[in-house]
Each structure stands twice: as C-alpha cells, then as structure tokens.
Structure 1
C-alpha cells in the first residue's frame, strides 16, 4: 500500500490521526517536542512536525475512508495526482525523530550558496543537499531527495 498525504484542519493533525487509527487506517503524524513561552512559564508541548499534514497508508480503493474524520479536509496533490510518499522517506522521518534533540553540527564555512554537499552525520546522513542560505546562526539546506528545507543551527 502507498502512503498518501492528507491535509487537515488547523490543529487537527493529532486528533485526525487518532480517529483514523480507530477506523483501522494506518496513520503517521510525526510529532516533536517544542518549548513554548506562556505568560508565566515555559512549557514543553508536543506539536506536529508538519502543520496541517498527516500520512496515511491505505489501499487506493479505500481512499475515501479518510473523510470519516471531521478533521480531514482533502488529499494533497502533486502535478495533478495524489501526492505519494515513499516508504523510505517515512522511515527516514521516523529515524530522525527517534534520534531526538541531539544537535548536529555541520561546518560549511568553505562552501558558498548554491553548492551541492553530502551530509556525513546526523539524521539525514548520506543525503545530498544544496546550500540555499547561510546566516549568522543557521545554514539553510535543501534536501533534494526528500524535497525538504532543513535549517541547521551553527
């Protein structure tokens, strides 16, 4: 079965994934820990890695089943077809999230914007990337095989 990308209502990612799981649909909603500033304290909360998106692994004939969750709005399309995510990409996301908050340092001082590099450590090890931007505190990389923009803290 293929992994499809489902677009949800704002702040419904986790609830929609739970509802679909109860209906027997294999769902994946990658979650990360984030520290947010409240008026009187800092609090650690769990938020979706991708706002408005969850991944569902479902047979093509059962695709309409996802609309049984009130939080699901539509499927994501790419070039006129349903967006499909490869199993390897889902595994890469899961692997990256299990590594946790360990910061990966990448030194690209000798590189320039537009250079193509290969990452040699961290969760995206052995992935090719293009350097999009270099700031005082971050490197902005484009992971070509996954289609992601990665912000790496210096």
Structure 2
C-alpha cells in the first residue's frame, strides 16, 4: 500500500526558492513555488519579473520516506515546524494560493507583525472572538491580557491564532 503524499513547507536559503524548485524537479519531487509578477526599475528601464510570493519558502508534496531527500537538497535549510513536527499544508490551501495568483496581479504576502500593547482578537479555539491586549511576545508565543467578567486573565497563544483589531490603538 502506498503512503499518501502530503504538502509541507520548506525553508530555503535566502533567494534560493527558484534554485531549490529546480533541484526538486531534477529529483522528481512534486513542488510548488508561488510566483508573483512584480515591476522593477533598473537604471535604464522598467522590467516585469517573477518573484517568489513567500520569501525563503517552497512547498513540496512528499511521503514520509522522501523527507530525507528533501532535507539533503542544496539550499534547503529545513522543514517549517509547527508544534514540534514538520508543518503539513492542506491541499485546499495550496489550491487557494494557486487560484488567487491566477486571478490577481501584484500580489504580496506580508507577515502580520504584532506589537506589545496592541489590541487583538483570538481567531480559533475556546476563546474564539475574545479580544484582549498583548502583554509580551516571546518567539512565536504571545501573552494576551483578556478582560472579561470583571477579572483579568492572561493567556498564551501562538501568533497565528491572533489577528490585530482594526482601528484600535495600542495601550
């Protein structure tokens, strides 16, 4: 019985996304490096070029046994980890990125930058839609002050589980 292939995110050396994609192709691995068209200015002209949408990231669809082949590829730093394991990306999410890039031009992927004192909302889990303010940030963990029921509760969240609130000023 063949094992199902799953999508993973791979972290590459800076500006190696296209090179790593070419090396994956030579190894016969299924990969996806989302590219967006960007207009750049040279000293004498403008030129439209394709740049990776996610800097230093390439997606690869592999089985568990193929992970070592991916790690041993020149330019690959490691898999992107989530909760201590290589992060699996859902097929639907890859499809959404593909469709989005087909439909729109000049797309940019900008990471959300959370700051101490900023007002945020919890996106998932038991505390979903609860609002609070950021007390401190350590790596990927965010400590949020939640004020409800007349008590001050402090909870720790992964950055990806929080979203900044629009039009709310930091404390």
Name the TM-score, length of structure 2 as normaliser: 0.59
Question: What's the CA shift for 1:43?
Answer: 1.4
Counterpart in the other structure of 1:49: 53
Matched, 1:36 2:31: no
Paired with 1:7 and 1:57, the residues of 2 have a C-alpha distance of 14
Number of residue equivalences:
113
Matched, 1:98 2:122: no
Name the TM-score, length of structure 1 as normaliser: 0.65
Question: What's the CA shift for 1:79?
Answer: 1.4
Question: What's the CA shift for 1:132?
Answer: 4.2
Offset from partner CA, 1:6-53 (integer Å, 9 cap, x none): 000111101101111110111000000001122222211100000000
In the alignment, structure 1 segments of 5+ residues that lack a partner are 104-112, 116-129, 135-154
Question: What's the CA shift for 1:69?
Answer: 2.3
Counterpart in the other structure of 1:125: none
Larger Rg: 2
Paired with 1:132 and 1:6, the residues of 2 have a C-alpha distance of 30
Paired with 1:67 and 1:102, the residues of 2 have a C-alpha distance of 31
Matched, 1:85 2:82: no
Paired with 2:15 and 2:106, the residues of 1 have a C-alpha distance of 27
Question: What's the CA shift for 1:81?
Answer: 1.2
Counterpart in the other structure of 1:12: 16
In the alignment, structure 2 segments of 5+ residues that lack a partner are 108-118, 122-162
